Structure 1
Amino acid sequence: MIEYTNISITIASVVSSKLATLYECQTVYCLEDVYDLLEIASVDNHNTKILSGGD
């Protein structure tokens, strides 16, 4: 897999999950907000996997 080279994996994960744009992460949200968004994405992904029958 290709890794992000110019952006942190935390920011990239939030942007990829479409919970925020890069601009919003840079101007609107503080670091704690970004980690909260990352938690939301992680829990949603986990719950989706469980509901779809994955372990």
Structure 2
Amino acid sequence: MNPMAEPNKYLKAYNDQLRTDAETPSAIQVEKLDVLRLATFAGGRGFITYRDLGS
């Protein structure tokens, strides 16, 4: 068994389930910019996340 298969499996599950709108539920706006997700929250706070950087 490939020792890296298990961590990759969990990373894929994390990306698939959490690097979505579930990660920014209270955002007032979410913009997709290539692989980035730019979220804006009340008061002008921001958050940048991504799902896959192709690594």
Give the TM bin, normalised by the shorter chain: 0.3 to 0.5
Larger Rg: 2
Higher helix share: 1
- TM-score normalised by length of structure 2: 0.32
Higher strand share: 2
